[in-house]
Amino acid sequence: MPMPPPKASTEGPRDRQVFHEMGQIVRALEARGPQPVDELRSLVGADFWEGDRFESALAFAIADGLVHRGPGGVISPSG
């Protein structure tokens, strides 16, 4: 019997690297506390990441409930 097709997704493709990048974001926030997006980008070294990988990883981390965006756009770890 053939396998069913994968579920449709509106969040776009994920790859192994994005899980690593999401982990970097979460660990930085757990170590340093809530951060503005620009500071978080600097903490994880996202200036050296390809293209829009930081924005994608942050969006996935927010969508998965690992982090959340608070007042003033400050990103905080969940939990």
pLDDT at residue number 4: 67
Residue-wise pLDDT tens digits, 9-44: 544 556 888 999 999 999 999 999 999 999 999 999
Give a three-class secondary structure readout of 26-62.
HHHHHHHCCECHHHHHHHCCHHHCCCCHHHHHHHHHH
Residue-wise pLDDT tens digits, 33-77: 999 999 999 999 999 999 899 999 999 999 999 999 999 999 999
- pTM listed for this prediction: 0.80
pLDDT at residue number 76: 97
Give the span between the Cα atoms of 58 and 60, in whole angstroms: 5
The residue ranges of every structural domain in the chain are 16-77
Select the CATH number that applies to the domain covering 16-77 from these four: 1.10.10, 2.60.40, 3.90.1070, 1.10.3470.
1.10.10
pLDDT at residue number 8: 52
